[in-house]
Amino acid sequence: NKPHVNVGTIGHVDHGKTTLTAAITSVLAKTYGGSAQAFDQIDNAPEERERGITISTSHVEYDTPARHYAHVDCPGHADYIKNMITGAAQMDGGILVVAATDGPMPQTREHILLGRQVGIPYMIVFMNKCDMVDDEELLELVEMEVRELLTEYEFPG
């Protein structure tokens, strides 16, 4: 009977939240057993597949030897912010996904603020798409901007 932890991916639309969620399930399934969830299994509503965005929250579960995780993949699009809030309200920790190619965008800021308002106690950052940025200084700038945003909303930056 392992401790249960609620986590979730939040951040701007198209920054890679669902891709990261699928990758986490894949790596943990290969490492510890269990089942992986492919990207198209997570965003499985016809409109989500058609538009290429997450609309409603999706739920996946996975295990490590120490814990059982319930993971909510939240939509990043501004039109579906209510769905993001519903998913975030239950989180013990959030994974803020930021694409290095864009840096923090409007929904990045809004998701950090909403995370603070609904009481997400911990926030970690996954900087995605770093392989698509050739300039090391640009990566450092994106990291600095994200740290400043986290600090602004009273998360450790």
Q: Where are the chain's structural domains?
A: 4-67+75-152
Q: Is the pLDDT of residue 89 over 60?
A: yes
What's the pLDDT at 15?
94
Q: What is the value of pTM for the model shown?
A: 0.89
The percent of residues above 70 in pLDDT, for the chain, comes to 84
- Residue 129 annotated as catalytic: no
Q: Which of 63, 77, 101, 102 is catalytic?
A: 77
Catalytic-role residue among 9, 18, 19, 25: 18
Overall average pLDDT of the 28-56 stretch: 73
The pLDDT value given to residue 22: 94
Is 14 annotated in the active site? yes
Any residues with CB less than 8 A from the CB of 1 and at least 6 apart, and which?
A: none
pLDDT in tens, 100-133: 999 999 889 999 999 999 999 999 999 999 999 9
**Catalytic one among 14, 15, 54, 57?**
14
Is 77 labeled as catalytic in the residue annotation?
yes
User: Is 15 tagged catalytic?
Assistant: no
**pLDDT tens readout for residues 73-83:** 887 666 556 76
Which one, of 135, 133, 107, lies nearest residue 9 by Cα? 107
Q: Judge whether residue 70 has pLDDT over 80.
A: yes
**E-only strand ranges, 37-148:** 58-63, 68-73, 93-99, 123-128
Q: Can you tell me the mean pLDDT for 35-63?
A: 72
Question: Which of 87, 151, 83 shows the shortest CA–CA distance to 113?
Answer: 151
* Residue 84 pLDDT exceeds 90: no
Average pLDDT over residues 16-27: 94
- Name the catalytic one among 15, 17, 71, 111: 17
The tokens describing 56, both together, are 């409603």
Residue 35, pLDDT score: 85
Q: Answer yes or no: CATH 3.40.47.10 is held by domain 4-67+75-152.
A: no
